Homo-oligomer: A and B are copies of this chain.
Amino acid sequence: MTSKNTIKVAAIQQAFHGSKAATLEHTANQIRQAAEQGAELITLQELHATEYFCQVEDAKYFDLAEPLEGETCQLMKALAAELNIVIVASIFEKRGHGVYHNTALVLDKQQGLAGFFRKMHIPDDPGFYEKYYFIPGDNEPGFSPIETSIGKLGVLVCWDQWYPEAARLMALKGADVLIYPTAIGWDKDDTNDEQARQLDAWQTVQRGHSIANNLPVISINRVGLEDDPSGQTAGIDFWGNSFITGHQGEWLAKANSDEETILIAELDLNKSDKVRRIWPYFRDRRIDAYDNLLKRWID
């Protein structure tokens, strides 16, 4: 059996602090606090440096984008090296003129930029106009975990979290943990019942990936009400509830819906081998009968 590799992990649930500079400064402080508490892997929410600008389609917001190894990358790289940690960050990436992505970065204490993941599934629905801003990640390398000094991180982004395919592909490539930087919230016009169903569904589908793949999950969401710049809606009430599960989907830590939080848990990143001996789903996959998963619909 593989040896234990128990580490402290942190999920930093934050609000937007009015500007990119102020928000990044705040985040850097939160990272320092998490590191002081012993966290060796620190994870941030989706597009953590800015407001969630996808509530409207407006070309001016492309100004918020930065190159892969731009300002946010440099700041996080320096913090990872200084604090001897691994950081999962998230940026609005400008890859080229007219080529933008929603990209997660992994900064390693030893390697610097260890890898990145460009959001593969891009949502688009009222208040979340992401198809206007982000090109989906290329199918190569696609769903590939990122090797770091503490383990292989299966980093996916937000909408990817609704797709069992994404989690499974990360697991099949040897991910030790699934990590979902996220920006999801309530439409204030929905009923309380509908809001409760949505939050529960969001938690449950991700816990399902944890269970089906015998892997821990870290999901990091923002908090706070952000106005709709168009004034057409009451804005988005980001619902927080960042959480960390163990290898059987069991709750290890969970934040509430409206406060900034540094969520901490201990994870043994080598434990999946042990759990998979008891729940050997990988042994019995019917890869001879899965061809239709590559179809849009089976007519």
Of B140, B166, B174, B248, the residue contacting A298 (CB under 8 A) is B174
List chain B residues, Cβ under 8 A from A82: none
Q: Which of A266-287 contact B (CB under 8 A)?
A: 278-282, 284-287
Asked whether A151 is an interface residue with its Cβ less than 8 Å from the other chain, the reply is: no
Asked whether A60 is an interface residue with its Cβ less than 8 Å from the other chain, the reply is: no
List chain B residues, Cβ under 8 A from A208: 164, 204-205, 207-209, 211-212
**11 A–B pairs (Cβ distance < 8 Å), ordered by A:** A120-B286, A121-B284, A123-B284, A159-B284, A164-B165, A165-B285, A174-B298, A204-B208, A208-B212, A285-B296, A290-B293
Asked whether A63 is an interface residue with its Cβ less than 8 Å from the other chain, the reply is: no
Residue of B nearest to A203 (CB): B204
Asked whether A288 is an interface residue with its Cβ less than 8 Å from the other chain, the reply is: yes
List chain B residues, Cβ under 8 A from A120: 286, 289
Q: Is the CB of B212 within 8 A of A163?
A: yes
Q: Is the CB of A163 within 8 A of B281?
A: yes
Asked whether A162 is an interface residue with its Cβ less than 8 Å from the other chain, the reply is: yes
Counting from the closest, the 9 A-B pairs by CB-CB distance are A208-B208, A164-B164, A139-B289, A142-B289, A205-B211, A173-B298, A201-B211, A121-B284, A139-B288
Complex CA gap A290/B164 in Å reads 11
Q: How far is the CB of A149 from chain B (nearest CB, A)?
A: 22
Indicate with 1 or 0, residue by residue over A127-145, a CB within 8 angstroms of chain B CB atoms.
0000000001001101100
Q: How far is the CB of A148 from chain B (nearest CB, A)?
A: 18
Q: Given the known A-B contacts A211-B204, A285-B121, are A292 and B169 also in contact in the complex, defined by CB atoms under 8 Å?
A: yes
Complex CA gap A52/B296 in Å reads 38
Q: How far is the CB of A38 from chain B (nearest CB, A)?
A: 25
Asked whether A21 is an interface residue with its Cβ less than 8 Å from the other chain, the reply is: no
Of B143, B209, B286, the residue contacting A139 (CB under 8 A) is B286
List chain B residues, Cβ under 8 A from A292: 143, 169, 172-173
Complex CA gap A294/B172 in Å reads 10
Complex CA gap A138/B261 in Å reads 50
Q: Given the known A-B contacts A212-B164, A212-B208, A281-B163, are A290 and B169 also in contact in the complex, defined by CB atoms under 8 Å?
A: yes
Complex CA gap A120/B143 in Å reads 26
**Interface contacts beyond A163-B212, A164-B208: sample of 12 additional A-B pairs, CB < 8 Å, sorted by A:** A121-B284, A136-B286, A139-B286, A140-B289, A143-B289, A162-B211, A174-B298, A200-B249, A200-B250, A204-B208, A204-B211, A293-B294
Complex CA gap A14/B296 in Å reads 39
Q: Is the CB of A162 within 8 A of B212?
A: yes
Q: How far is the CB of A183 from chain B (nearest CB, A)?
A: 16
Q: How far is the CB of A212 from chain B (nearest CB, A)?
A: 5
List chain B residues, Cβ under 8 A from A162: 211-212, 279, 281
